[in-house]
Amino acid sequence: MTSRFLLRNFIRGPLTEAAPPPDEGALAELAGRVNQASRARLGRTLSIREVDAGSCNGCELEIHALNNVLYDLERFGLRFVASPRHADVLLVTGPVTVNMREALERTYQATPDPKWVVAVGDCARNGGVFAGSAACVGGVSAVLAVDLHIPGCPPSPTALLKGLLALLEGVSA
């Protein structure tokens, strides 16, 4: 059963779709944030640690989709890792809640240099619909220096991909 499945998929070829171009706005936001030394060290690959700092889970669903066969994030040298100690990039979602602030800061501290912070979604930009809540700190930049914002509620996988490709281009150009 399994082998029949594998064989058919092998013959059919990949379902993966062509990559979108990197986001121009993101390229502009990133310009100058990445120095030559880090570029040399990282090459054309980035390890990403996702941190939900208070999201409704909508952004996580779309970040997950990046791993499905149509977007196949790993073909670009971008991969999600299980520990911040293995990461170059923190992909942070949500209006940072008061209850997640310390965990976010500690995750950042556990990530080795050089490192980048990407704020994903409208909440991560400025709190989104939760802005002003006493239980939230605000956007990610209220806690960490943010290198790139990818807006959307939630951003589509294509929007995420465009932003991450811009990051990859900025880092490895």
Partner 1 sequence: MNWTRSAVDRETWEQAGERLRSGASSLLSLWGEPGRAHMAVIDSSHELRVLSFACEANRFPSIGRLHPPAIRLERAMRDLAGLEAEGLPDTRPWLRHGGPYPFLPAEGESLHQIPVGPVHAGIIEPGHFRFTANGETVVRLEERLGYVHKGIDALMAGASLERAASLAGRVSGDSTVAYALAFAQAVEVALGAQIPPRAAWLRALAAELERLANHFGDIGAVCNDASFSIMHASCGLLRERVLRASHACFGHRLMMDVVMPGGMRCDLSAEGRQQLVALIALVRSQFPELVELYENTASLKDRTVGTGILTPALAQQFAAGGYVGRASGRSFDARRAPGYPPYDRLKFEVPVVQAGDVNARVWIRIQEVEQSLALIEQILGQLPSGAVHIPVSAAAVSAEGTALVEGFRGDIFAWVRIRASGGVERCHLRDPSWFQWPLLEAAIEGNIVADFPLCNKSFNCSYSGHDL
Residue 122 contacts by C-beta under 8 Å, 6 or more apart in sequence? 128, 129, 151, 152, 153
Q: Considering only residues 48-87, where is the footprint of partner 1 by CB under 8 A?
A: 50-65, 67-70, 80, 82-84
Angstrom distance (rounded) from CA 98 to CA 112: 24
Cβ–Cβ under 8 Å, residues 61 and 102: no
The yes or no reply on residue 116 touching partner 1 (CB under 8 A) is no
Q: Is 154 in the site for partner 1 (CB under 8 A)?
A: yes
| CA pair distance 166, 159, nearest whole angstrom | 11
Instruction: Tell me the closest approach of the beta carbon of residue 31 to partner 1, in angstroms.
Output: 28
Q: How far is the CB of 173 from partner 1 (least distance, A)?
A: 27
Q: At which residue do the structure tokens 């965990």 appear?
A: 103
**Segment near partner 1 (CB under 8 A); pick from 21-29, 32-40, 126-134, 163-171:** 126-134
28 is written with which tokens?
């502009």
Q: Which is nearer to partner 1, 97 or 116 (CB)?
A: 97
Which residues within the stretch 22-41 sit at the binding site for partner 1 (CB under 8 A)?
none
Looking only at the bridges linking them, the beta strands covering 116-120 and 96-97 are unpaired
> Bridge partners of 90?
49, 117
Number of residues that bind partner 1 (CB under 8 A): 48
Whether the CB-CB separation of 74 and 47 falls below 8 Å is answered with no
Among the candidate windows 23-31, 32-40, 93-101, 143-151, which touches partner 1 by CB under 8 A? 93-101
Chain positions contacting partner 1, by CB under 8 A: 1-2, 5-6, 15, 50-65, 67-70, 80, 82-84, 94-95, 97-100, 103, 107, 128-130, 132-136, 153-154, 156
